[in-house]
Structure 1
Amino acid sequence: MAASNAPHLVKIALTGLLCLLVAVDPLTAQEMLVIAHRGASGERPEHTLAAYERAIDQGADYIEPDLVVTKDLVLVARHENELSGTTDVGSHEEFADRRRSKTIDGQLVSGWFAEDFTLAELRTLRAKERIPGIRPANARFDGLYAVPTFAEILQLVRAKEAETGRRIGIYPELKHPTFLLQEAGIDSIDLLVTALRQADLDDADDPVFIQCFEVGPLKRLNAMVDVPLVLLVAQGEGPADEPGLLYEDMLTPSGLPEIATYADAIGADLRLLFGPEGVPSGLVEDAHAAGLKVHGWTLRKENAFLPPVLRRGTAENGVGDVLGMVNILKAHGLDGVFTDDPGRVADALVQLQGN
């Protein structure tokens, strides 16, 4: 998922929020999928096998790896193809000359990029916490975990399925596929499809969603696999492969049926689903009318990411009212939610079910 979660994920005023809580019976909504956003990344550095395993142990329905590609064409899990935010690459003197600047999806980015490293070179790096100011406890694990390959993530899922006796879904996101194809000659779409086919995970009934912020790659995937596809949509942005087009222009009652021709769901920034006063935007209902599921992103436990009325205390990294946020999302019909804290969300859903 993109890092465009501004600190105030959904700005819901007190009066609007209270109206939401009393106006809708949460038990009337179907159960939401719990999608572990980069693993249990509220408790372990994101996109590590430790984060994924913890999420599975906490009851997540799906784990979500963001996929980038190495120079030798191996799919690996990182939040972005730029590595310095989530690894210790900047401290490796042997890679100092790999630092460069690239224009990715219209933005100039400087740093070290996965596509410039072989897998063997990436293996010398170690993961670190991306937002240590908010999650200092996660920084205790800096330096412990390697960058996992997609194959290793699938192996972990199989092992945990055998251990737990339950199906565990995989929800990969292709990062910057058009850029990688045009600028590096790397076809990440074909690499992902090949990996899913080899794992026998490319059929409609397999517990897999593939997500992307771009339109063309999803249209291509729609002709290659039968698993459900998800168009990711963010507030104030647009697909990188469709310059000049905003997601808001696509998310209209007339535009959503077009999305439904190549995708099965939208993965929506929660700010697109609720207005500043807490009133639902109508997007969930419109998407459902077009035959699309709605998965919202991203629910995090820290005050910095919660609406003001759901914060507890004044510390930005203090734990807020996750149960209250889950209540709102569930009550208004979301089919799934991406969360850094799958255990808390799963517990909240159980608690709401019992009320």
Structure 2
Amino acid sequence: MKLLVCTLLIILLSACSQTPQSSTVQVGTRPYYLINTMQPSALKTQLQACSEGPFYRTDFAIGHRGAPMQYPEHTKESYLAAARMGAGVLECDVAFTKDQELVCRHSQCDLHTTTNILAVPALAAKCSIPFTPAKNGQLAQAKCCTSDITLAEFLTLKGKMDGANNQAITVDEYLNGTPNWRTDLYASNGTLMSHKQSIALFKQLGVKMTPELKAPQVSMPFNGFTQAQYAQKMLDEYTEQNVPNERIYPQSFNLADVKYWIEQNPEFANNSVYLDGRDETSQLDPNDPDTWQPSMTALYNDGVRILAPPIWMLLAVDEYNNIVPSQYALAAKAAGLKLIAWSLERSGPLVNGGGYYYQSVSEVINNDGDMMKVVDVLAKDVAVMAIFSDWPATVSYYASCNNMPASI
């Protein structure tokens, strides 16, 4: 009898140890809401059939700044939520402080909209542009940068939901600018993190890591700190904590940064990600190859292996009003480039076409459920390797339902 009991116990423990991620991932109610609002289709039926899971962690879901739809971006709370929702990769956008330490912030100069710095007089006084109230038709303004303060000072701040009230006449009014489709319910005590702290947390969570080197908003070199030193320091902090290079996906909108990593850190070459933001600096047309400078082939020949554009650049609408891959997406794949899309759940409700992220398919987007159609085309037709999301549960639900690979 004892032998039978022991044998059963071993079997149970073995089964539990083989599925730790499926037992801890919780997708919450949002994926169900999105699926329920879809128009009747084979995709809707398939997704509904997966309602009871199991759900698991997958590298197809990248926590974009964590889970900032409801938690202050780049905070410990946001990262923990993203991991719980099944994100197999988490992002720390990397900026530097006055004492040249690296921290997780989407922009070097966003502290006035993403933290409580303006409510801390001693630190508000150090901001590049102090708070100025709205007056006589002029909007309220402020500019507070990580490079205005030290790491120690940065870590005393609290993260809040990104937003500002530009009509404000007081600091409290200015800080009260969260978009109405987000929430402040979990935004009163966001824990800010240094880059090193994020690495330690991500190791503890067992996720892969995708740091983004943010463009400096001060002249470089900054007190002797060069762009190359900045790019190298970001990678060095992973080496110092013994993170295997294959678990790191360094990214930048600056192609020169990506080329630096490829040339100077070849162990990271295949995982280095070129974030394509050329639509903001040129007249890039996803269906006109003449506007892609450099071309897909040129990028590949320079050593780039992963290209990450916004969602809209990967999609088009065909003559039958179906969402299909853009010429940009097809050309990238033909050149041998892997693709990552950004950023799902970054827009508000999609009833009016979805805004920036859906501009190429806005004519066929009219409700939140269409987000799942977009994910399906990105996954099956564009064949992206991953999707950045502000609410990773949406992506991990889809990935689990389609038996996509689990995160290792």
| TM-score using structure 1 length | 0.75
Structure-2 separation of matches of 1:40 and 1:297: 14
Task: Choose 1 or 2 for highest CA Rg.
Answer: 2
Pair 110,190 (structure 1): closer, same or farther in 2 beyond 3 Å: farther
Q: Which amino acid aligns with 1:34?
A: A
Aligned pair 1:173/2:212, yes or no?
Answer: yes
Aligned to 2:376, the other structure's residue is in SS state helix
Identify if the C-alpha distance between structure 1 residues 72 and 245 changes in structure 2 by more than 3 Å, giving closer, same or farther. farther
Give the match for residue 345 of structure 2: 300
- Summarize the alignment of residues 142-291 of structure 1 with structure 2, pairs less than 5 Å apart: 142-161=187-206, 168-177=207-216, 181-183=220-222, 185-186=224-225, 187-201=229-243, 203=245, 206-225=246-265, 226-227=267-268, 228-234=271-277, 236-238=279-281, 252=292, 255-260=295-300, 261-275=302-316, 278-291=323-336
Alpha-carbon displacement from aligned partner over 1:12-62 (angstroms, at most 9, x marks no partner): xxxxxx9xx99xx99xxxx97211101122231111111111111211120
How far off its partner does 1:279 sit? 4.4
1:1-355 mapped onto 2 (5 Å cutoff): 33-82=60-109, 83-100=111-128, 111-131=143-163, 132-137=178-183, 139-161=184-206, 168-177=207-216, 181-183=220-222, 185-186=224-225, 187-201=229-243, 203=245, 206-225=246-265, 226-227=267-268, 228-234=271-277, 236-238=279-281, 252=292, 255-260=295-300, 261-275=302-316, 278-300=323-345, 302-304=348-350, 305=354, 307=362, 309-312=364-367, 320-332=369-381, 333-353=383-403
Q: Which runs of 5+ in 1 are unaligned?
A: 1-17, 102-108, 162-167, 239-243, 313-318
For 1:211 and 1:69, locate their aligned partners in 2 and report how far apart those are by CA, in whole Å: 16
**Paired residue secondary structure (1:223):** helix
Paired residue type of 1:196? Y
- In the aligned structure 1, how far is the partner of 2:290 from the partner of 2:197? 36
Quote how far apart the aligned CAs of 1:320 are: 4.1
Q: CA separation in 2, counterparts of 1:110 and 1:255?
A: 39
- Alpha-carbon distance between aligned partners in 1 of 2:217 and 2:123, rounded to the nearest angstrom: 26
Amino acid of the structure 1 residue aligned with 2:273: V
User: Structure with the greater relative contact order (CA < 8 A, sep ≥ 6): 1 or 2?
Assistant: 1
Which whole-Å CA distance do the structure 2 matches of 1:310 and 1:282 have between them? Answer: 20
Distance (whole Å) between structure 1 residues aligned to residue 106 and residue 339 of structure 2: 22
CA distance in 1, matches of 2:64, 2:100: 24
Q: Work out whether residues 114 and 161 of structure 2, in 8 Å CA contact, stay in contact via their aligned partners in 1.
A: yes
Q: Which runs of 5+ in 2 are unaligned?
A: 1-38, 48-57, 130-140, 164-177
The offset of 1:311, in angstroms, is 4.4
Residues 143 and 327 of structure 1: is their aligned pair in 2 closer, same or farther, counting only changes over 3 Å? same
User: What per-residue deviation string (whole Å, max 9, x for no partner) do you get for residues 76-132 of structure 1?
Assistant: 11111111121111222213332325xxxxxxx950110121011112211000152
TM-score by length of 2: 0.66
Contact 1:115 1:184 in 2 (8 A): no
Structure 1 or 2: larger helix share? Answer: 2
RMSD: 3.3
